[in-house]
Amino acid sequence: MKRIALLAALLALAACSGKAADGDAASVQDVKVDVGVSGNRISLGVLTDLTGQFAPLATELTNAEKLYWEERNAAGGICGTFQVDLDVRDHGYNTQTAVTLYASMKEKNLAFHQILGSPMNAALSPEIQKDRVVSLPGTWAPVLLKNPFMAIVGTTTDLEVVNLLDYLIEQKKLAPGDKVGHIYFEGELGESALIGSKKVAGKQNLTLVEAKIKPTDVDMTAQVTTMKAQNVKAIMVSTSSNALASAAAVAAAQGMRVPILGNTQTFAPGVLKTPGGAYLKEHFLGAQPVAPFDVPQSKAVLDKYLKKYPGTNPTLQVTLGFARGEVMRQLLESACAAKDLTRDGVAKARQGLKKADLGGLAPTMDYSRDGAPPTVDSYLMRAADVPGGLALEKGPYRGPDTA
């Protein structure tokens, strides 16, 4: 009799699990499901950079997102029923590879937990909107705010720059008439940042000295030398950490003593061990979307990560991974509560998401305003010999020119 009862239970689960054979929605415990849900398992895509120029940061972000769902699954998952799995693929920071991988992943995953990279998200945004698949971009390009199926976690790249420059003005380290250098990647990432520096320059009567570089450029000698000759009072860097390390080393070698500012993705703690490390400890200020490790909620995430990955020196990407996991959890819980974990059900949950409280890991994300960033606040941090290489200077901070 026990075998008969077990067989009956298995048959019942099979009858209501996963995607229906004809593509229509099936159901699990009265919850409608379709793409990316099989039995009590939800599959979410992660399209990231594990071998390219942002691999160190992206690997930490992905590991943290995995760790978040390991904990959440152990605590009951979604609605006490569904367990979440991450389908991780590596695009190596190559846009065409990302486009190809997305095409192969979209019919296997309910939503995309992470699509990393500004050029990748810009290329995929029309497909994401056409496919009506919710995604959390691993970037903060302002153009992505136009896509109703995307939910960025943090403020946009341009407003990070605004906050950094406004803070220098507030601290009287910049004044009207000063020149500011801006080294930035060509393409969506760097040009999004340039929007912010141009905005502040226009409002505060600053002069920009621009230097556009390729993502493969790592020697900033020519750019920094030109900026010194122009007598810039600060240098904004919107690149990866390799260019930041070079810019700091050149500035130090040329006897400069000006602030170097950086966007979220610009800083990695390894730069403090390069020839420009001492300069960065004295002069660097970076913007981050999440609280530093000297905030208790973020420190708790760090402790969990180090227990899972001992001997590492993680960045704030691990806190960001947990914050992003919390946004996705709230989306999935909302869809599940509405008895609709189909792709359309998650899309409705995305449109219905108003404010996401991230428990002190980051500012509350307000998704109620279409086309607007969910927050305009940044955590401003100085470089230091602390876990993650960054300590809180000010934040959450909102510059007057973010309006």
Full set of structural domains in the chain with CATH? 27-155+295-372 (3.40.50.2300), 157-288+380-402 (3.40.50.2300)
Question: Across residues 155-175, what is the average pLDDT?
Answer: 97
Question: Across residues 262-267, what is the average pLDDT?
Answer: 93
- pLDDT for 215 equals 87
> Could you write out the DSSP letters of every residue in 309-370?
STT----THHHHHHHHHHHHHHHHHHHHHTTEESHHHHHHHHHH--EE--TTSSPPEE--ST
To the nearest whole percent, how much of the chain has pLDDT over 90?
Answer: 86
Average pLDDT over the chain reads 92
> Could you write out the DSSP letters of every residue in 139-163?
S--GGGGG-TTB--SS--HHHHHHH
Checking DSSP bridges between strand 260-262 and strand 284-288, what pairing results, if any? parallel
Question: Across residues 113-135, what is the average pLDDT?
Answer: 96
- pLDDT for 353 equals 92
User: From CA 223, how far away is CA 31, in angstroms rounded?
Assistant: 57
The better pLDDT of the pair 27, 231 is held by 231
The better pLDDT of the pair 112, 57 is held by 112
The residue type at 48: T
- pLDDT for 189 equals 86
Q: Give 367's contacts (C-beta < 8 A, 6+ positions apart).
A: 151, 350, 353, 354, 355, 356, 374
| pLDDT surpassing 50 at residue 12 | no
pLDDT confidence tier of residue 24, bands split at 50, 70 and 90 = low
| pLDDT surpassing 80 at residue 106 | yes
User: From CA 132, how far away is CA 107, in angstroms rounded?
Assistant: 12
Angle, CA of 252, 276 and 303, to the nearest 5°: 145
Bond preceding residue 396 cis, omega within 30 of 0: yes
Q: How many CB atoms lie within 10 A of CB 281?
A: 15
pLDDT confidence tier of residue 25, bands split at 50, 70 and 90 = low
User: From CA 90, how far away is CA 58, in angstroms rounded?
Assistant: 10
Is residue 108 a contact partner of residue 334, using CB atoms and an 8 Å limit?
Answer: no
- pLDDT for 10 equals 37
